[in-house]
Structure 1
Amino acid sequence: MGTKTDFNNLSMTLSFLHNHTISVRIILFFCWFCISLGPAMAAEPFAVEISGIDGLLLENASAALALPNGLVRDGQVEPTWAQRFARQSQGKVAKSLEPFGYYRPAVKTTLEPIEKGTFLLRVDVDPGKPVRVVSLSVALNGEGKEQKILRQWIGAYPLAVGDALRHDLHESWKGDWLVKAADLGFLDARFTAEQILVSIEHNSAQIDLRMETGPLYRFGATTFTDGNGFPDRFLQRYLAYSAGEAFSETKVARTQANFFDADLFHSANIRVDRSLSSGLQVPVNVELVPLPRYQLRPGVGYGTDTGGRVSLRFRNNNLLSLGHRLESDLLFAERRKAAVGRYLMPVGIQIDNLMTFILEYQEEQLDTYQNRALTSGVMLTQSLLRNLKLSLYLNLSQEYFRFADEDGKTTTLVMPGVRLVKRRWKMIGQGRAASGYSWKLEVRGASTSLGSDVSLLQALVGGHLIVPITSGQKLVLRSEGGTTLQSDFDDVPASMRFFAGGGQSVRGHAYKSLGPTDRDGDVIGGRHLAVASIELEQPLSEKWAAAIFYDCGNAFDNLSDYDLVQSAGVGVLRHTPVGSIRIDLARQLDGKERYRVHLGVGFQW
């Protein structure tokens, strides 16, 4: 009878839930979760509860009371072992507080049996007064005693007279000082005296530290072992040090990173053997395993902007065994075709200092315009500061272009220019940045007095910023701008005009579909450009991510009268070892409420 009544009550309850807005599935899941969680919580056979302290004190005490292996057997704890652990816990907690200057804490423990084989250990702690530093002496001797950085490091000793004694800060500073001394070339640096006299009765500590730097070691000769015939003079450019400089592990590590970043070597192993030192000169051997001298990399992809595409890249990594590089790129896409050849010649001893000779043919077939351009040029790139590059170039180009139903024109330009670029990225995978930034500033021009068909001056700026937020989220900011000074804009070729729209510009609009128009409404490009984008990317897994974005911008002719087109949307990104796949759905926000899908797929081997 009771069973039937319970069943009726359960049926009435389920009927009530079904007729109301509360989801039965959510409640059942919650009940299952609580039922599952209950035994897990109850199954804890020995729990420890600490009161009276917090922060680092609590963290260290909790670590000291970690349960030893074997205390829990078959889900239970023997009373004898529980009582023994409780007795030992007082001394363990007291000892765990000493690194923070507390030498006379009052520790009270209470062992409470919960049920058979299950206990709760309550630990109440009164740390008492900490031991304080009453005298401090830190002395530096040896060849490096006047070294500015080492003296600054001594001045940064973390304890002062009157401070609570902190052994953890003291030991951390000692280790850091030895690392810093070795990185400055004092490889034999050591502590000749280290004394901390603690008076528990007076709650006082006297600290006496004496450091000996030893002699200064310097970089000796560097030898290279490689199997691809790179000349030593070329390889020397990747060294972050010079012979005779003070030895530094940081510079050794930077040198290794330089070889990896060169994209010329499979591996770079740097060996430093002090046993082979001649006096205080430390020799360095760099073992290199180069990539194949000749490389051929095919690629295939599809983009809403370009259509389907195939590409082929050829590279000779060591032309004439001089460390020179010969590169060629072929691109065949539905809307764009290009063939580029580059000869790169190292200049000087800096890694990024290059002289580049370029020959390029490019052809575009867009709804906006059609063009064919042949360009040759020379560019000198110099490294000014770390990650900052200055490029000076001179290009000679001839371009045929045609807009809509207009007659085609051919323009010849002799164009000098200057470009500043800075990049600083923290990478988490091939082609994937976790944080960082890049920016570009470029000024270029042409003049009829130099043989050009048209005179103009153009400035371009661009920036890209990735800001990590939390849990892998990142904020991606992008901007691009440009301006042109020119009186007769009709003779400016299509490649020198500004357009907006597309997957890398203002999404929601077709590639290069935004800009000033002619009398017939056909887009012909503008003198000025302003584009900006903000995007929030959320990782879904190691390889998948989702994003929401907002874009705005346009190309225009008048700086005092322009209209910025806006769009917003969502995207999905898939990372692969040989490329990425991205799909964006963007909606125009200019009242037309049109949607556009942007797809980008690219793979290269």
Structure 2
Amino acid sequence: MIDPETRSARLSITLDSGPPFRFGALVISGLKKYPEEIVRNLATFAPGEPYAAEKLDVFVRRLNGTGYFASTQVAIETDPVHADSAPVTVRLIEAPNKKISTGLGFSTDTLYRAQLTYGDVNVNGNGLRFDADLRAEAKIQSVVVRFTLPPQVPAYTDSFPMSVQRTDIEGLRTKDLMLGWRRQSADPRDQTAYSTAFYYSRQMPTGAEPTQAHALYFEIGRTWRSVDDLLAPTTGSVFNVQLGAGPPGASTRVFGRGIAQFAWWLPIDRTTQLELRAEGGAVLVDSRHDVPSPLLFRTGGDTTVRGYAFDSLGPREGNATVGGRYYALASAEITHWLAPAWGLATFVDAGNAADEPRGLKPVYGYGVGVRVRTPIGPFRIDIAYGQETKQVRLHLSIGLTF
């Protein structure tokens, strides 16, 4: 109501959100090669649960992540008549079984890259996936082969990776072999992973004697994600812990290993956020020479301590930086979004890797950067100064580190 005499207006608004919705049964169409159980096993909800848009989004990401489908559309029935048990329609277009791709790229960590991948998402006619990845980078060359079973109830996936890798980083050359099994649960907000792998590693540091080690390694890991957005958080936290061991007889020497990682996002105002990160790890063994190189720690680079070269921080042996038994790092970063799609950041990183806890003297890197929001997480362009080396480095990275 508008009153011209008093030059005032009264506005009355009535909101009717309608009844609360609950998920009903899945209605699946478009399947020819795969059984419906594959789709049902990826569902992030059960009939009768309260509706949540994020559960549908995660369901779509799971379906797309299998490689089985070229197109995925998921929608809930919006008619209030069905609010107590709203059917969820899943429309699928199956993808071709086989795919070959090639690519060229550049990373500020490992420099130039050429890549060839081959995948078959239905090797045996029942959804067994096969992936092969051949990668040649300036510092790392690798071949990775993986078989992945169809998702199972209760919402987990088994995979069997095999890899051969050669590296030449900071004076340390390595040749590594890995054969393993991994089981990972599907819920990204509370995710558990079990793995068993056999490692064989040969380490050849410049100016020192080569060593070799092997291990049958068992590990359990768990990740809790309490964030507003799984790919680009602005508030909340993520905590990851991994515990593993190499048993006697099957390993060069008995050892234990643990890693803990924590990240926290704090909004300062509507356009500014603070990100804090801390992590550390330890390998409990008398000598690092008895542990395969991939299970030891080096740090420095795009996603750890900016301002330093990739894996350049760690114990010295001869003229090489080698993996240590301990590492720790921390980071603080403030991002101010100047527009919905991009912003500016300033940060401080600190960390190191060492062979003894008392050797974990932190080195510092700090700088500024640009942030760009993308569908797979923030893209970062950073200029960082390494206080220890007194050098300025460019760093490029995308997505979350864990």
**TM-score of the superposition, structure 1-length normalised?**
0.57
SS at 1:525 equivalent: coil
Matched residue, 2:160: 357
Task: Work out whether residues 294 and 315 of structure 1, in 8 Å CA contact, stay in contact via their aligned partners in 2.
Answer: yes
Residues 101-134 of structure 1: per-residue CA shift (max 9 Å, x gap):
xxxxxxxxxxxxxxxxxxxxxxxxxxxxxxxxxx
Contact 2:207 2:320 in 1 (8 A): no
Distance 1:294-1:436 versus aligned 2 partners, 3 A rule: farther
User: What does the per-residue CA deviation read over 1:15-56, in whole Å, with 9 as the maximum and x for residues that have no partner?
Assistant: xxxxxxxxxxxxxxxxxxxxxxxxxxxxxxxxxxxxxxxxxx
Aligned to 2:251: 452
1:503, distance to aligned residue in structure 2 (A): 1.9
Kept after mapping to 2: 8 A contact 1:579/1:601? no
* Matched letter for residue 244 of structure 2: R
- Partner AA of 1:447 in structure 2: P
2:357 to 550, 559, 576: 559
Amino acid at match of 1:443: L
Kindly report which structure 2 residues correspond to 1:192-271, keeping only aligned pairs within 5 A, or say none. 219=24, 222-240=26-44, 245-246=47-48, 250=51, 254-255=55-56, 257-263=58-64, 264=67, 265=69, 266-270=71-75
Q: Give 1:370's aligned residue.
A: 173
Q: Is 1:338 the counterpart of 2:142 in the alignment?
A: yes
Inter-CA distance 399–231: structure 2 relative to 1 (3 Å threshold) = same
Q: What's the offset of the Cα at 1:291?
A: 4.1
CA distance in 1, matches of 2:78, 2:377: 41
2:183 to 369, 380, 384: 380
Residue 549 (structure 1) aligns with: 347
Query: Are the structure 2 counterparts of residues 314 and 228 from structure 1 closer, same or farther at C-alpha, using a change threshold of 3 Å?
Result: farther
1:317 & 1:262 partners in 2: Cα distance? 13
Higher strand share: 2
Given that 1:361 and 1:374 are in contact with CA atoms closer than 8 Å, whether structure 2 keeps it comes out as: yes
**2:4 aligned partner:** 86
- 1:235 aligned counterpart, secondary structure: helix
Answer whether contact 1:276 1:283 (CA < 8 A) is retained. no
Cα distance in 1 for partners of 2:130, 2:309 equals: 35
After TM superposition, give the deviation of residue 516 of structure 1 in Å: 2.4
Which residue of structure 2 aligns with residue 465 of structure 1? 264
The answer on whether the counterparts of 2:328 and 2:360 sit within 8 Å (CA) in structure 1 is no
Contact 1:301 1:601 survives alignment (8 Å): no
Contact 1:583 1:597 in 2 (8 A): no
Using the alignment, how far apart are the partners of 1:527 and 1:407 within structure 2?
19
Look at both structures and tell me which one has the larger radius of gyration over its CA atoms.
Answer: 1
Paired-residue identity, %: 20
- Corresponding pairs, count: 393
> In the alignment, is the contact (CA less than 8 A) between 1:273 and 1:283 conserved in 2?
no
Equivalent of 1:442 in 230, 236, 242? 242
Q: How far has the Cα of 1:427 moved from its partner?
A: 4.7
Unaligned runs of 5+ in 1: 1-63, 66-84, 100-167, 186-218
Q: Which amino acid aligns with 1:355?
A: D
1:426 offset after TM fit, Å? 4.5
Q: Identify the residue that residue 32 of structure 1 maps to in structure 2.
A: none
Q: What's the RMSD between the two structures over aligned residues?
A: 3.5
Q: Is the 8 A contact 2:215 2:292 kept in 1?
A: no
The one-letter amino acid of 1:564's match is P
Q: Who is 1:194 aligned against?
A: none
The answer (yes or no) to whether the contact 2:195–2:220 under 8 Å persists in 1 is yes
Q: Give the counterpart letter for 1:376 in structure 2.
A: L
Out of 315, 339, 345, which is 2:119 matched to?
Answer: 315
Cα drift, residue 184 of structure 1:
5.4
**2:336 maps to amino acid:** Q
Residue in structure 2 matched with residue 528 of structure 1 by the alignment: 326
Residue by residue over 1:475-518, the C-alpha shift from the partner in whole angstroms, topping out at 9 and shown as x without a partner, is 22222210111113333233222222222221222222222224
User: Per-residue deviation at 1:522?
Assistant: 4.2
What letter corresponds to residue 563 of structure 1 in structure 2?
K
* Alpha-carbon spacing, 1:230–1:571, altered in 2? closer, same or farther (3 Å): same
Say which SS state the counterpart of residue 262 (structure 1) adopts.
Answer: helix
Aligned to 2:224: 422
Question: Is the 8 Å Cα contact of residues 302 and 601 (structure 1) preserved in structure 2?
Answer: no
Alignment of 1:125-144 (within 5 A): none
> What is the alpha-carbon distance in structure 2 between the residues aligned to residue 251 and residue 466 of structure 1?
23
Q: Using a 3 Å threshold, how does the CA distance of structure 1 residues 548 and 409 change in structure 2: closer, same or farther?
A: same
Deviation by residue 1:439-496 (Cα, 9 ceiling, x = unmatched): 32111221332x2122211111123333333343332222221011111333323322
SS at 1:320's partner residue?
A: coil
Amino acid at match of 1:350: P
**Corresponding residue of 2:108:** 304
Which of 390, 394, 399 in structure 1 is aligned with 2:196?
A: 394
SS in 1 for 2:51: helix
Tell me the residue number matched to 1:600.
396
Q: Do 1:311 and 1:332's aligned partners in 2 also have CA atoms closer than 8 Å?
A: yes
Q: Distance in 2 between matches of 1:389 and 1:581?
A: 25
Residues in 2 aligned to 1:516 and 1:229: alpha-carbon distance in whole angstroms: 53
Is the 1:268–1:289 Cα contact (8 Å) retained in structure 2? no
| Alpha-carbon distance in structure 2 between the residues aligned to 1:544 and 1:281 | 41
Residue pair 1:498, 1:527 contacting (<8 A) in 2 also? yes
Report the CA distance shift for 1:419/1:559 in structure 2 as closer, same or farther (over 3 A). Answer: same
Aligned to 1:211: none
Query: Per the alignment, do residues 228 and 522 of structure 1 end up closer, same or farther by CA in structure 2, a change over 3 Å counting?
Result: same
Query: Within 1, Cα distance between the matches of 2:27 and 2:91?
Result: 9
Q: Distance in 1 between matches of 2:385 and 2:78?
A: 62
The answer to whether the 8 Å contact 1:388/1:423 transfers is: yes
CA distance in 2, matches of 1:306, 1:583: 16
Contact 1:241/1:251, CA 8 A, preserved across alignment: no
